[in-house]
Amino acid sequence: MSKQINVALIGNPNTGKTSVFNALTGLNQKVGNYPGITVEKKEGICKLPRGVKAHIIDLPGTYSLNASSLDENVVIELLLNKKDKDFPDIAVVVSDVENLKRNLLLFTQIKDLEIPTLLVINMADRMDRKGISLDIDYLEEHLQTKIALISTRKNIGIDKLKNLITNYKDISITPCLNASQIDKTYFDNLRKAFPNQLLYKLWLVITQDVNFGKTSRKEIEAVTNFKTKSKTDLKRLQQKETIKRYQFINNVLKVGQTIDTSQAKDLRSKLDRILTHKVWGYLIFFAILLTIFQAIYDWSGIPMDFIDTVFASLSEWTKNILPSGAFTNLLAEGIIPGLGGIVIFIPQIAFLFLFIAVLEESGYMSRVVFLMDRIMRRFGLSGKSVVPLISGTACAIPAIMATRNIENWKERLITILVTPFTTCSARLPVYLIIIKLVIPEGRLLGLSYQALTLMLLYLIGFGTAVVSAYILDKVMKIKSKTYFVVEMPNYKLPLFKNVALTVIEKTKSFIFGAGKIILAISIILWFLASYGPGEQFNNAENIVKTEYASQNLNEENIQQKIASHKLEHSFIGITGRAIEPAIRPLGYDWKIGIAIISSFAAREVFVGTLATIYSVGSEDVDTITNKMAAEKNPITGGALFTFASGISLLLFYAFAMQCMSTLAIVKRETNSWKWPTLQLVIMTIFAYIVALIAFQFLN
């Protein structure tokens, strides 16, 4: 048997489905998006007994086949479309031993589609503690299936699960119950109208408003015309169907499951009272956040500095070892720094998702979401938006990736669009230079003016994000159900394997998703800064040496002047000159224009660009500040960087979308260039207007 079989992992949220997926696939998995939509698609390969390979798809968590979200639509569309390349040979329904009754509703629905359906009962290690015992033989007989009782935590039952998947043809496809009895006449007529079609599939097509992909359009149109009942009647029939299924499940579990409540040791309710308390809950949450982000800064600083040093050394080594020329320059100044710009984000992404994975695995994240939802709901956001918005203070890239936990598409999209307003660590080099330049030294209540300015910039960013979310919620005409449902899972110790795989997958996702775009734009920026038209660029060395011949400059200073002259007359320098009329009202000159353009690669590039422009050998903050302080306004003859122009520049960077990697990840997460383009245009216009008003008013 060499055929590859398709396996669909299906289950309610928080049943440990991802743990089962990880146990089966290990590192042989990949994450992407379903074509045309933003729902995450996880798939992997599992080696089964007798040389069989299984292609496993971890479908989004769903409570039933009565779709109420984009995630649930994905599940239904796949199960109804036999022409889909991923249509399952076997459906593996993962249930939680403590919530078996609720989980079995979905199981009985999938059985009605006559797909071989295997029931996995997870978290078997908790049975003794919760006083639960199961009669597996009785359950298998009455549910018309095979059952794998497993514990991913203890690695129990995984081999049996693999064997059952291998022998999927032995599993009965007979439905558990006859759901059509809820309205015998209606379903008899439906059966007569379409004698060659599966009855339950027809029922789902009639009641669900979903896109069925490659399923025959003629068939769907013919079926939907059969809606002799009103929407209210159909909804009532759906409710009857659910009641009938639960009656069947209750009868089976009366014999098949025994729960001795006296044995249950419940610490959960005590912890919930503290962690969701209207005062202590918030204090604990913010203390945890403070700890997390302090750890992200502390822990990621060392590896990020190391990465920076390694790529700088690699670039220098490449220049020294290879013969000089265009290719060496491309490699040393374009490709290697571009790769460095991707890799340097890895520590922050890895640490952030490490903490998020631990909070989710432990069950605490659901409590945070519940706690914050009431506040965030007023601004068109979800309680789940809190984590991305606050984690944006480290970096917008992992923060936007963290929005995947928000099921509601409108709330998720709004969160993605406003998250870049929160002040990320990449803005700090820009803020530090400008604050030192234009904010006087002094103290208010023991706090320095410069520290207060920095804190104010953080508060302005977060406040703008929340206000923008409120406006977007009112403006955007996206149909989206706004009810909020969050399940409170049991507290448990995080599984190291799940946490590690989450960190690896999220990091890989960034490197191969956004990384390609970052590298491409880095190379373009290098080309624009390294080449220019005309004599001024091509003959820069002679021009500079002639101009400074009388000043007796040493070789190092001469080379700095040549580099500065070349930059001014390069393509990017010419662009800076071209946009100068547009940025002059903000208090900037062409040099700041170049820094703004080049910092699109990453905000912190602003510092390096200024270092070259002002002929500074290193990126030392004081040196750049002193050089900038000495710059004269060619029109007034006074200092170029005044309090007015400095505040203008700070506000521009606070609001502008000056980060191509963020745009790249927004494109990846929204699966469209529409939203990142709108984000770039609107944020830039807003930043320009605010900076213009600030400069004109303060000037």
Known binding residues for GTP: 11-18, 36-40, 58-61, 122-125
Tokens matching residue 627: 């050089």
Report d(CA 122, CA 447) in Å as an integer.
Answer: 55
Where do the H-state alpha helices sit in 402-530? 409-418, 428-438, 449-475, 496-530
Cβ contact 46:54 at 8 Å:
yes
Phi-psi region of 342 (alpha: psi -120 to 50; beta: other; left: phi over 0): alpha
Annotated binding site for Mg(2+): 22-23, 25-26
Phi-psi region of 613 (alpha: psi -120 to 50; beta: other; left: phi over 0): alpha
> Mapping DSSP to helix (H, G, I), strand (E, B) and coil, where does residue 10 land?
strand
Q: Tell me how far the alpha carbon of residue 593 is from its chain's centroid.
A: 32
Report d(CA 555, CA 153) in Å as an integer.
Answer: 66
Report d(CA 249, CA 348) in Å as an integer.
Answer: 47
Annotated binding site: 11-18, 22-23, 25-26, 36-40, 58-61, 122-125
Report d(CA 377, CA 115) in Å as an integer.
Answer: 40
Where do the H-state alpha helices sit in 225-363? 231-256, 268-275, 280-321, 326-329, 336-343, 346-362
10 Å Cβ neighbour count for 447? 10
DSSP string, 545-572: HHHTGGGT--HHHHHHHHHHHHHHTSHH
Strands 40-47 and 29-33, bridge-based pairing: antiparallel
What is the DSSP code (8-state) at residue 439?
A: S
Report d(CA 624, CA 626) in Å as an integer.
Answer: 5
- Closest Cα to residue 202, out of 178, 184, 221? 221
What residues contact residue 670 under an 8 Å CB cut-off, 6+ apart?
A: 38, 413, 416, 676
Q: Which amino acid is at 349?
A: I
Rg for the chain, CA atoms, rounded: 30
> CA angle 72-106-82, nearest 5°?
65
Cβ contact 380:414 at 8 Å:
yes
Where do the H-state alpha helices sit in 167-266? 184-193, 199-207, 217-224, 231-256
